[in-house]
Amino acid sequence: MKYRILKLIISCVMALLVACVAPTRLNFSCDDPTIDIYIDGEYAGTSLVTYVFPNSKQDVVVTCYEDGKEVYRRTFSKEGRLKNELIDLQIVRDLHYSSGGRKAKTY
């Protein structure tokens, strides 16, 4: 009986330790398959990519390109994030701004 209780306590402590040191993993999703996703300047893929933060790193820059043109850039911090969070990258398109009667199409 004592052996079972000790084994249970050790198992619980090990589970807590593993949960505390589990790496922060961010999953970035983009519905548009023509968008190339880069993380810290390195190509990561399209549609759905996963990034695991090294212990020494606190922030990551996600940049999206379409046909070689930057269409999205944002810095994400691992502080306050869930361990396996999914982030939807919203690429805003075809915004129209009015300036003095002239409309300029931006990307």
Instruction: Report the pLDDT value the prediction gives residue 56, as an integer from 0 to 100.
Output: 85
What would the pLDDT profile of 42-77 be if each residue is shown by its tens digit?
999 999 999 998 888 899 999 999 999 999 999 999
Which residues span the domain enclosing 48? 23-106
The DSSP letter of residue 19 is H
Amino acid letter at 103? K
Q: pLDDT-based confidence at 24, cuts 50/70/90?
A: confident
Helix (H, G, I), strand (E, B) or coil at 21: helix
The number of residues making up the chain comes to: 107
Q: How many domains does the chain have?
A: 1
Which one has a higher pLDDT value, 85 or 98? Answer: 85
CATH classification at residue 54: 2.60.40
pLDDT exceeds 90 at position 35: yes
Any domain includes 12 = no
Any domain includes 8 = no
The owner of tokens 């129209």 is: 96
Instruction: Report the pLDDT value the prediction gives residue 21, as an integer from 0 to 100.
Output: 60
Which one has a higher pLDDT value, 3 or 24? Answer: 24
